[in-house]
């Protein structure tokens, strides 16, 4: 059994233009989550996990798992100039640029999710200018199989159940506290 | 497109003895839900849907879909004396007996979930007496495929999200109301 630690690096909803084969292009708000998974046993490895989900479409799930080795081929292929340890922060920086630009009429940085078949999709970070669209980064994501979506939804459900329980406790505490204060004031 | 209405007939947690091949027999609390689905178009049909789930194991899902035709073979096979329209209530009666007996040291009515392989499981309603175990009813259920579990979890998540939102509203209303009363009393 290996042990692993998860460090959350980014988790924000972002506007994405989805271009899927045989479907009309559409704007979609996608929650993009970046996590660094550190596996310490049997050997120490790190994996960057990128996950795209959509609160309004619970079956929407795209994932990328990128380890050091995968990154080396991505780096060569896209001519990146950073190493694996610096890459997550550079990616977050690009996403932050998209966030800053999201409410502008002509945002300078945008995200495209492009897929020609059901086996994969590319998330592209694009800089728009009047002359050309520059792709800063293009990541290949895999759509979640039923078993992945099932696990993801179970995790969401567990989390929400905990939140529900805390909220219930908070309601009871608030009610009791305020009623007590009310009682004291009335005396 | 067909339209359908769902009538909930029963939904209660019940103790079940699970006997699965290559696993130790164990007691499990299972939520048993009975629903009558009425499909009105293109032809009017009814289907009894029995669902077994477990709050502590989100991937646990067993289902039976029983229409009039399926019921006729179940009736012949198990020598039942009721017709399809009366069957759901008889089944609920048996489950109620199990509920009444659940906290007794030697419950007279118990439920077994028996499975020898991964393709199906039988839910048996058993009357125990010192001489013999009598099987009142034995229903063959199908374990949920990943896609079924995925749909089921998405439904749970939607429901819980709604409940969470209502609870949040209730917290805000309660807080505002009590604070206002406190404010009035203090003046």
Same-domain pairing of B78 and B118: yes
From the list A92, A83, A73, the residue with the least C-alpha distance to A35 is A92
Same-domain pairing of B93 and B128: yes
Same-domain pairing of B13 and B77: yes
Whether the bond into A171 is cis, omega within 30 of 0: no
Measure in Å the smallest separation between the Cα of A145 and chain B Cα atoms.
Answer: 9
- Residue B139 above 60 pLDDT? yes
Q: Which domain holds residue B59?
A: 4-144
Sort A98 into a burial class: Cβ within 10 Å, 0-12 / 13-18 / 19+. Answer: buried
Would you state the pLDDT for residue A170?
94
Same-domain pairing of B39 and B88: yes
What are residue A157's phi and psi, to 5 degrees? -65, -45
Task: Report d(CA B182, CA B172) in Å as an integer.
Answer: 15
Would you state the pLDDT for residue B1?
42
Same-domain pairing of A66 and A137: yes
Same-domain pairing of B57 and B15: yes
Measure in Å the smallest separation between the Cα of B32 and chain A Cα atoms.
Answer: 19
Task: Report d(CA B154, CA B173) in Å as an integer.
Answer: 29
Same-domain pairing of B110 and B26: yes
- Residue A80 above 80 pLDDT? yes
Q: How far is CA B162 from the centre of its chain?
A: 21
Would you state the pLDDT for residue B6?
92
From the list B167, B58, B61, the residue with the least C-alpha distance to A152 is B58
Would you state the pLDDT for residue B3?
61
Give A185 or B77, the one with higher predicted confidence.
B77
Task: Report d(CA A121, CA A123) in Å as an integer.
Answer: 7
> What value of ipTM does the predicted structure carry?
0.72
Q: How many domains does chain B have?
A: 2
- Residues of chain A in contact with residue B175, where contact means CB-CB under 8 angstroms, are 174, 178
Same-domain pairing of A133 and A161: no
Same-domain pairing of A160 and A119: no
Sort B111 into a burial class: Cβ within 10 Å, 0-12 / 13-18 / 19+. Answer: buried
Same-domain pairing of A129 and A68: yes
Same-domain pairing of B19 and B66: yes
* Interface contact A179-B178, CB threshold 8 A: yes
For A31-54, the pLDDT digits (tens) are 999 999 998 878 889 999 999 999
Tokens of B70: 């399926």
| B36: β partners | B7, B48
Taking all residues of chain A, what is their mean pLDDT, rounded to a whole number?
A: 91
Mean pLDDT of the A93-102 span:
94
Task: Report d(CA B34, CA B96) in Å as an integer.
Answer: 13
Residue with structure tokens 């610096």?
A: A86
For B84-128, the pLDDT digits (tens) are 999 999 999 999 999 999 999 889 999 999 998 888 999 999 998
Judge contact between A123 and A111, C-beta under 8 A.
Answer: yes
Q: How far is CA A147 from the centre of its chain?
A: 19
* Interface contact A174-B175, CB threshold 8 A: yes
CA distances to A91, A137, A151 from A34, rounded to whole Å, are 9, 15, 18
Would you state the pLDDT for residue B178?
87
Same-domain pairing of B30 and B101: yes
% of chain B surpassing 70 pLDDT: 98
Q: Is A133 on the interface with B (CB under 8 A)?
A: no
- Residues of chain A in contact with residue B164, where contact means CB-CB under 8 angstroms, are 160, 163-164, 167
Tokens of B172: 């805000």
Mean pLDDT of the B158-170 span:
94
We report the CATH number of the domain holding residue B105 as 2.170.210.20
Which of A153, A166, A177, A179 should be substituted to probe chain B, the one whose Cβ sees the most B Cβ atoms within 10 Å? A153
| A113: β partners | A18, A123
Task: Report d(CA A21, CA B4) in Å as an integer.
Answer: 32
Give B99 or A23, the one with higher predicted confidence.
B99
């Amino acid at each position: 059994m290996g042990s692993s630690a998860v460090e959350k690096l980014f988790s924000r909803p972002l506007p994405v233009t989805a271009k899927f084969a045989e479907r009309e292009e559409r704007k979609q708000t996608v929650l993009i989550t970046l996590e660094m998974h550190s596996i310490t046993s049997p050997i120490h490895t790190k994996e960057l996990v990128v996950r795209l989900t959509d609160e309004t479409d619970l079956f929407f799930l795209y994932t990328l798992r990128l380890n050091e080795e995968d990154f080396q081929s991505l780096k060569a292929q896209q001519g990146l100039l950073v190493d694996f340890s610096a890459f997550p922060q550079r990616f977050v920086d690009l996403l932050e640029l998209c966030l800053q630009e999201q409410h502008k009429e002509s945002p300078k940085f945008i995200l495209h999710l492009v897929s020609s078949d059901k086996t994969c999709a590319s998330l592209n970070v694009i800089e728009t200018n009047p002359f050309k669209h520059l792709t800063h980064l293009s990541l290949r994501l895999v759509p979640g199989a039923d078993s992945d979506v099932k696990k993801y939804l179970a995790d969401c459900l567990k989390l929400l159940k905990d939140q529900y329980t805390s909220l219930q406790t908070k309601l009871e505490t608030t009610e009791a506290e305020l009623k007590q204060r009310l009682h004291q004031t009335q005396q």
